[in-house]
Structure 1
Amino acid sequence: MWWNRILVGSICIAILSSCDLFKIKTEEDPEDAIVASVGKINLHASDIDFIKKDNQSELDSAELVNRYIQSWIKKQLMIKEASKNMTLDEAEINRKLLDYRYALIVYEFEKAHVEKVLDRNVSLDEIEGYYNKHKENFALKEIIVRTNFLKLEKALPQKRQIERLLNSNRENDQMELKDLAIRYANNYFIEDSTWIKFDDIILNTPLVQNTNHVQLLKNNRIINVDDDTYSYYFKILEYRLQDQVPPLEFVRDEISKIIVNKRRVEHAEKLQREVYNKALENNEFRIYD
């Protein structure tokens, strides 16, 4: 899979950077300051330039540089200790490093090609088609709800009005409820069409103490709980329980990413076939019996 290639690439980069066995420079630049050393192995300022270039914040860069230097020192010390305590097969190590180098080259080439041709636009028809074909793959691991939520001060005079509006389904009343939530609620969530994890919406409310969320949702359309200072209201519009299939809206972004990643893999495989077939036509390789 594409992500496996990314993982391999990351591992290769870590190995190459730690061992200092691949160097473009053949002699040291006297103006290239040494920032750390272990024995005769030096880490130069130019070796960590990429950290500063990739980070705009000086504080972040300084912290990352320090972490990189510490990591580099630890790896060099481990290499030094390993060299003293075990017999190393230099030929085998060099062969593996060469394999890693070629894997990195191929990875960078494939990545550049795929990013150039990749279409990230995913239509609703594609998303719906994938959802209908793979519904069971999206079985929920947690409860999700569509809900109206308000956190109000217990002494608020408008509480009774808000309670009445919560029990109403009239469109005008829903608009008035949103207006009151904006004006008086300490916290609120009035998004009728948005699905959210139930554990997220009840966070920092007394409902976290309730251990039977399934029974709570099945038996109550309006849930009201209090603590010493606030009243919390939940109007449950709809819910899905664990192991049930979520609505398309809840997994739409996830499916879009899956489809784009599948395209990445397909483009990479297509590139490999094209390179192979072109070489085959031009007699660029030979297999011997």
Structure 2
Amino acid sequence: MKKEESTILSLTNKLYLPILVSILLSSCDFFKFKSENNDLDENPIVASVGNQLLRNSDVAFLVTTGSSKEDSTNLTNRYVQSWVRKQLMILEAGKNMTFDEAELNRKLLDYKYALMVYEFEKSYVTSNSSAEISNAEIEEYYENNKESFSLKEIIVRTNFFKLEKSNPQNRPLERLLTLNRDNVETSIRQIALDHASNYYMEDSTWVRFEDVIVNTPLAANNNKVELLRNSKLIKVDDEIYSYYFKILDYKLQDQIPPLDFVREEISKILTNKKRVALVEQLQKDIYNRALENNEFKIYD
């Protein structure tokens, strides 16, 4: 009897073991499937093109602290559109052209190394740059190179005032602007503060004439050069306002600009020259050090 029971148990085990294993394997697949679904829930796909996927984590950097939900949404939408267009272009390129993988990889490496060198040079320049460009350096460069500067537009030093035509201070202002005495500036400034709809009183600053006359009747004048040559005080009116331009000085197109007008430009030129010089010296030092230490060979 015991032998029969043992035989029955053995047969039962043999019969149910595959079923049990099958259930366990199915359970593993089930749990694996659920885990993958959880990953998808946590990092959903935002867009796809072919086999390429753009996930939520790929666009998370676009959402910054302080930006509104609407701004973040608009920025993300623009990024997704750009990504889709780029992937579609890559797909189309692959369909219509045969690319040399080795050549592509070589170019990628060249770009990678160029980027590494650029970042290294930029870091070196930042760490080793001297103080800001001095006024003496700017003035010296201007004196030695002033002929290379040429104005592409009219620039002026001017005072500008805009008053309503009905304002009783128009006449006193116009009279004061015709005087060339230092003691009238306070009175002019007071009228501007109290009565002008707009005004500009930066005597020493050179500005583009077009920037000053924009939105005034003078902008439509086709004889600006003659007007500047013949008038120290220019007055024009429209239906509501009177506009006054007291011309303190001017420079015409193709003339050499004053130093103050090109000071910032010269500062940028000198800063770039110093950067280039630093990088060239860095390259020379690295080469000479490697040469002394026999770190490279050039074969015939």
TM range (shorter): 0.7 to 0.9
DSSP-derived class of the 1:91 partner: helix
Could you give the per-residue CA deviations for residues 47-93 of structure 1, whole angstroms, max 9, x where no partner exists?
3444445x753454443332222222111111111111221111111
From the superposition, tell whether residues 271 and 32 of structure 1 become closer, same or farther in structure 2 (CA, over 3 Å): farther
AA in 2 matched with 1:100: Y
1:222 to 211, 216, 233: 233
> Which structure has the highest helix share of the two?
2
> What is the CA-CA distance between 1:103 and the residue it aligns to?
0.9
1:238 to 249, 252, 259: 249
1:186 to 197, 216, 221: 197
- Contact in 2 for aligned 1:119/1:260 (Cα 8 Å): no
**Equivalent position of 2:136 in the other structure:** 125
Segments of 5+ residues of structure 1 without an aligned counterpart are 1-29
Is 1:57 equivalent to 2:67 in the alignment? Answer: yes
* Matches for 1:4-43 after TM superposition, within 5 Å: 30=39, 32-43=43-54
Could you give the per-residue CA deviations for residues 131-185 of structure 1, whole angstroms, max 9, x where no partner exists?
1111122210000001111001111111111111101121110121011111110
**Equivalent position of 1:200 in the other structure:** 211
**Equivalent position of 1:75 in the other structure:** 86
AA in 1 matched with 2:174: E
**Equivalent position of 2:10 in the other structure:** none
What TM-score results when the alignment is normalised by the length of structure 1?
Answer: 0.84
1:288 to 254, 277, 299: 299
**Equivalent position of 1:249 in the other structure:** 260
1:170 to 161, 181, 189: 181
* Matches for 1:133-148 after TM superposition, within 5 Å: 133-148=144-159
From the superposition, tell whether residues 66 and 275 of structure 1 become closer, same or farther in structure 2 (CA, over 3 Å): farther
DSSP-derived class of the 1:134 partner: helix
From the superposition, tell whether residues 51 and 269 of structure 1 become closer, same or farther in structure 2 (CA, over 3 Å): farther
Distance 1:35 1:284 in 2: 50
From the superposition, tell whether residues 132 and 172 of structure 1 become closer, same or farther in structure 2 (CA, over 3 Å): same
> What is the CA-CA distance between 1:258 and the residue it aligns to?
1.4
**Equivalent position of 1:158 in the other structure:** 169
From the superposition, tell whether residues 60 and 125 of structure 1 become closer, same or farther in structure 2 (CA, over 3 Å): farther
Distance 2:62 2:292 in 1: 44
From the superposition, tell whether residues 134 and 50 of structure 1 become closer, same or farther in structure 2 (CA, over 3 Å): farther
Structure scoring higher RCO (CA < 8 A, sep ≥ 6) equals 1
> What is the CA-CA distance between 1:126 and the residue it aligns to?
0.4
**Higher Cα Rg: structure 1 or 2?**
2
- Contact in 2 for aligned 1:148/1:190 (Cα 8 Å): yes
Distance 2:207 2:189 in 1: 18
From the superposition, tell whether residues 280 and 69 of structure 1 become closer, same or farther in structure 2 (CA, over 3 Å): farther
AA in 1 matched with 2:299: Y
Distance 1:131 1:86 in 2: 53
- State, as a whole percentage, how many aligned pairs show the same letter: 60
Distance 2:241 2:229 in 1: 24
- Contact in 2 for aligned 1:120/1:260 (Cα 8 Å): no
What TM-score results when the alignment is normalised by the length of structure 2?
Answer: 0.81
Distance 1:183 1:110 in 2: 55
Segments of 5+ residues of structure 2 without an aligned counterpart are 1-38
